[in-house]
Each structure stands twice: as structure tokens, then as C-alpha cells.
Structure 1
């Protein structure tokens, strides 16, 4: 029989689920001084262990007969967990408890996804966003949520359903489907997955956290119908608990209500509602924020392009989650500003942990988000100009600027490099961009008849296009970005010509080009042709001012050209203006 190759794994923090049952008869019969000592030493133990520099500890009230208390420890070494166990047995509280169960494991990340394979490949290019994501799996912080659900599990090794006999690709497909269900609950349920092969009776421990226990129930219910669970999973006992603060140990022991209010917030968390939305507006960021959304604004003194690159890596992971609304980088007074919007406070708090690790972050504002009518400080004028142009061209059935309902953004750079050298470099970069869902296309174009080349990169978000510009600028022979020349630039995008009309289209451009040469305010115009697809073209045109360009677009010659184009173009043309 063929031996299956196991996926690679990496381990992080050791995890101990310590389940205790309170001897209520002994507690009720104890002297007052003994109860006071138990409370005092119990609180001290829990608070001291929750305050460790590396790792975490939390306490939960367990519902049902299986236990009364769950003390959950995360530590870097087994020696630390061993000491934590023995220290508890040495405090006065332990005189009134008995360990009813425990589970030992270690946080784990495995190589079932393509991204994880890159993480484990020493020759793969480092991805800061992926690195942070894997670090969050291996070195998690316990979330400040009310409910916890813990259960151990294993994969079946039955004659009919043996997980370990499946080919790797089949196991990976099953795990991907399983993960898709979990991502639907991002922002609602947080998980810690820990491996326990050789450490305890099952193969994994699963710890789920949420502020709504029904979210955990619904998540697990949906997963039961997934083949990775229905055919290949076996489960141990389930434990459900409510977190409470160590200081509320006495309330727990005397039968009063307990709760956990979360970590103490910093001053910057007080920004709420329209104040945060106004800050987004001043930075030129618009968003359709769902009810209950929470936002983040982080300021960094690091190089803006460095921050953009790191954020782009993070955003690739953020966009796996439905709770993610947007994450963008803006430049404000020479400094990088990261803005991030999430559907829930929990999701925003989790994202904050990643974003605060970005280089140079020195100031963070976080809070609830409500729409505010604020004109962006610097972008409003440009956007209004774009809207004006779109309106003037609407009668011509041509899009201008960002097409309505087709939110795409273009970045164009010009190069003097040899096209044979430039095109392979662009193709390689485009293949890298394809890892991101926001990427539409990136291609090399050359001016008809020779001359400079252009690289066009089209994205679904403005920030992604701008970030791509940082990478594109490193291509050989780059001399300028569209829009950097003096005057007013207009770039006619997406002139996809029917193959039978390609030569006729080029001839028509030559005719129009002759007309342009005689127009006031016209600097130059090039027909740029995709080196990989001669039917894909755009027109790069430079004018002294917007008014000069619009004079041409209002001319009868242009109207005639548009009418002629309806018969020869495979797609509706769109124009993007770069002021």
C-alpha cells in the first residue's frame, strides 16, 4: 500500500484546558476565614497568570454536570504549563475543587492550502500578510468574548472512511470546503485549533469563542453536513462556558451573576459614530458601512510605499472574511494612514492586532462607525471634475472615469525599455497580482508604429491600483505615470476591436490623429496596442487643459468616430480621465 505524505505543520503555543469541579458541600461547610483565603488566593492566581508576558490565561464558568470551572492556559513551553497546574493545586482554592478532566495540545498550522504551502516553502517569496496570518494561528490571544465551546476531535480511520488513506489533493479539497463554512462566520466566531497527536487522547482540540452561543451552534450544525465532518470526523465531549473576570470569583462561588467586560480600553477607543466617519471622509475614503460597523485609522511614520505593500498582503487575507468592508492606505501630510472598516467590533478588534504590527504605526483611532456627510479634503475637486466629464459624455454612450456599476481603477505607466524585455517582466508581475481577487488585468502595450511602451494595470479598488503602482514602478525603463505630465491627460480604455476590423480601426485612428494635430491645446496622442492581443487597445492623449480636451469630444468628428465605432468594437468603450 502506498504511504501517504503528511502535510507539513508548524507549532506555536502549548494549550491546557483545565476543567475543575467545585465541591459545593465542602464550600458551604467551610469556615469563613477558609472561604476568604480561597477567594483571595484564587483571584491572585488567576490575575497573575492572565498577566504573563507571553501567553494568556482565562477562566470560564462551565454549564452542565461535566465541570464547574474551565481554566484555559496558553504558554510557550510545557514547563510553564506544568508549573501553572501545580501552582493552582498549591493555592487555597484547590481545597474546594477536583480536576474532572483536562486536555493538552499545541496550536498548529498545517499546509493544506496553497497559501500555506507557500508559507512552508523556503524558496517562496515572503508574504508579510500570510506571515501575520500564520502567526495569529500559532500565537493567538484569547478573545474578549462571553462564550466558549471546547471539544476534542480526531479523523476517522475506519475501513470505509479512513482520512489518512485519502490522497493529499482530496484531503485538501475537503479542508477547503470546511474552511469556506468557517469563513462565513468571521467576525462572529473565533477559533483556536490545536494539535494533540501524542499529547492527549484525540488528535486536535477545537476552541470556539463568540458573543452569541447560537452562532457557534449554527456553525457546527452547518459543518456536520460537510463531508470532512459527516464522513471523516469523530468528536469527544463538548464543554460550554461563560467567561468571567478573575475579580468576580467570589460572585461565582456564592451563586451571583458573573460577566466579563473585556480588556481595559485605551483612550483612542472612545472615538465613535460620525467622528470616525468624518475622519474617513477627510482622507477621501467613502464606504457603504453596514449597521454596527467599526472602523480603524492608524497613522504610520514609515515609508508610504512600504506600508502600502504590507497592507496589500494583509488585505488578501482580510478579504476572505465577509465582515471585511475595506482596508486602504492614504497619504496625509507626507505620512501613511491606514483605514480599515469592518462589519463588527470583534472583527475590527482582531484586524487591529494585525494592523498595529505594521511598520511605524504610532497612533490608532478605533470606534463605532456611522455615515457622515463630509467632503474629502483633497479629492473632492478631482472627483467632481470626473463627474462633470462623465455627464458631458453620457449622451455619446461612452463611460468616463470610473464606470457606473463597474468599479474598476486603472494605473498606467510608460517605459522606454525594449518591449521584448518589458513584456516578460510584466507578465511575471501580472501572475503575482492574480493572487488577489481585486486584480482585473495587467498588460504591456506599445505605441502603434513604435515609440514608448505602456503598462496598464486594472483593479477593482483605487487603493489596490495605487499599491500596484509601487510594484510597477520597479519595472525596467519606467519614465512616468499617466497623469504626471503637465496638462490634462485622457486615456481611452478598453477599445476591444472585432478581429476583422483591427486594421480598419488603426487606419481610422490615423485619420483622427491628423485632425488632433490641428486642434488648439493638443500635445500628443498615441494608439497603444496590447503586445499579447492586437485587438486590445487604448488611446493615450495629452492636452493643455480639460477644456481643450472637451472641445474635441464635443466635435462632430468625434461624434462620427463614436458612431462608426459601434460597428467595429467588440465591447462598449470606456474613457478614464487623469487630471
Structure 2
């Protein structure tokens, strides 16, 4: 480089478009770590076990699942029998720490029936609530007073509002979801991401636009309150997909209805990409193990 020659920023060089403004990432609140384990049943390996070995393995597995269901550190685990899916069974784990999830995973993999349960997939994430509306409103208020996002007053107000939001019963239920009761035995899980295609780049939208789109999306979902219980988990940095959606319902047709409804929202129609869907029914540990052993007696 010749000394004394100034290098112009790309945005100001002739022939270059003005640089796009920085779009800040969405602010989120997190709760429990979540892990979905998917397995296929190796029927040949199961039949090769002696009746005594199967009975002993079943007893130890049931005991392990009961201990995982309500661990002392908090959270819960639940087994599900999948129906019409690319895997046979699924285990869901929610824990306060990542290490807790790892312990649950190791406990399952070390259980006696693990020799016949072949891993068919896994999804690691953390319960998440996006603060789109809160941050968008605060940004407008900050601009109205002549301030800038990130100044001292903005930060004080942001912390206060986040603390109040986290303490609300609604957010507590989203971040620390209770295990569904007997009235909602069906479960549906699928991963999703937001598009980055030209003219359909979610990450290039302004915070105000993302807030508008997500508010409309949430309004559609709220119409299913009482019929579908939804758990949203964030997986950026944990998985190739960016979010996981776990739905619980008393009628499995509600999965079709709510997903159809929400796919017509602008945010899904324009920006959503979906992975495979796994659907099934939550079972007790005894029923789950009995379903695995079915046909071997």
C-alpha cells in the first residue's frame, strides 16, 4: 500500500451501495435445557435375549425411567411411543443445567435395554422466550426521548422490564414447562429454522418488523390455548436447526390444525423452514417398556 493513500470504506466508494444498517439479534430469556432422544428398536437383538435377561433389563429400565421422571434438581423426563415416524420411541428430558441433561442421556444409554435401542436422532436445545415486543417498544420509547439504544437509561429500563417479564406466570410456564397431564397424552416434535434467502432473509429484517410478524404469529397460536400446549426451545449453537417445537394435545388432530393455521401466517409463509415431524403418545415407564418388548414373549 502506498503511504498517504486513504482507503475509502466500501459504502462510500464509487459504484458501491450504501452499507446496510446493523440489525441487532433478538433478545431472549432462557430456562431449562431440553433434550429429545429418538431410538429405533432392534427387534433381532431383542429376540436374541433370553426371557430372563429381557425381564431383568425391563425391570431396571422401568426403575431408571421413574427416577428420571422427577429428578431432585428439577425438570422432568417422559417416554413416548412414536407412531408412523422414522423412529420407534422418544425420550424427552428437561433439566436446569446442561450437565443435568447429560446425566439423563447417559442414564438412558447405560440402561439395560439400551442394547436394543439404536439412536435414530437427537435434538439439544433450551426453552426460550423471544422478547420481540418488549425490545421493540423500548426502542420506540428511547427514540421518542431522544436517546439511543444501549444508553444508560435504556439499559436500566431493559433490565427492569426483563426481570418483571421473567417473573410473570406466563413466562414461567414457557421457560419451565410443567409435564403435561393425562388430558394431553399426545406429543408432536419438529425442528425449524428461519430462511436467509435473497428477499427472504429473516436476519436482515428490522427489530420492529420481526416484532410485528411474531406478534401476528403468536396471536394465531393463542387461539389453540387449552387444546395445545406448546414448548419452544432455541437450538442456535446446539444443533443445525435453530428452534425446536414440542406440542402436546388431547386430540392428535390438533397438531394438524395448529400447524396448518400457523403456516399461513406471514412469518411462516415467508421465512420458515421445517424439518421432520415425530408424533406419538406419552406413556408410563411400564407401558413404554412393555411396548418395546411387545411380541417377544
Give the TM-score normalised by structure 1.
Answer: 0.42
Matched, 1:149 2:169: no
SS in 2 for 1:182: helix
- After TM superposition, the structure 1 = structure 2 runs for residues 232-251 of structure 1, keeping only pairs within 5 Å, are 232-251=271-290
Cα shift at 1:253: 2.4
* In 2: Cα distance, 1:93 partner to 1:116 partner: 50
2:111 is matched with 91
Q: Secondary structure at the match of 1:231?
A: helix
Candidates 217, 239, 242, aligned match of 1:178? 217
Pairwise CA distance, 1:55: 0.5
Work out the number of aligned pairs and report it: 256
1:192-251 superposed Cα distances (whole Å, 9 cap, x missing partner) = 100000001111010000011111110101111111111100011111011110122343
Q: Higher RCO, 1 or 2 (CA under 8 Å, sep at least 6)?
A: 2
For residue 125 of structure 1, report the CA deviation from its aligned partner: 9.9
Residues 183 and 67 of structure 1: is their aligned pair in 2 closer, same or farther, counting only changes over 3 Å? same
Query: Partner of 2:200: helix, strand, or coil?
Result: coil
With 21-30 and 169-178 compared, the bigger mean Cα shift is at 21-30
SS of equivalent to 1:193: strand
Task: Give the Å deviation of 1:24.
Answer: 1.1
Q: Which moved more, 1:113-122 or 1:47-56?
A: 113-122
Unaligned 5+ residue runs, structure 1? 257-579
Match of 1:131 among 163, 168, 183: 168
Question: Which whole-Å deviations, capped at 9, do the CAs of 1:395-445 have from their partners, x for residues lacking one?
Answer: xxxxxxxxxxxxxxxxxxxxxxxxxxxxxxxxxxxxxxxxxxxxxxxxxxx
Q: Could you say which residue in structure 2 is the equivalent of 1:165?
A: 204
Q: Secondary structure at the match of 2:26?
A: coil
Indicate conservation of the 8 Å contact 2:166/2:172, yes or no: no
For 1:6 and 1:120, locate their aligned partners in 2 and report how far apart those are by CA, in whole Å.
19
SS in 1 for 2:216: helix
How is 1:19-168 mapped onto 2 (pairs within 5 angstroms)? 19-53=38-72, 54-114=74-134, 121-124=158-161, 127=164, 131-144=168-181, 145-168=184-207
The alpha-carbon distance between structure 1 residues 223 and 87, as it changes in their structure 2 partners (threshold 3 A), is same
User: 4+ residue stretches of structure 1 with deviation over 6 A?
Assistant: 115-120
CA contact (8 A) 2:80 2:90 kept: yes
1:4 to 23, 29, 32: 23
Q: Cα distance, 1:128 vs. partner?
A: 7.9
Report matched runs for 1:308-387 at 5 Å: none
The residue that corresponds to 1:216 in the other structure is 255
Q: Please give the root-mean-square deviation of Cα atoms over the aligned residues, in Å.
A: 2.2
TM-score (ref. length: structure 2): 0.81
Secondary structure at the residue paired with 1:121? Answer: helix
1:131 is displaced (CA, Å) by: 2.0
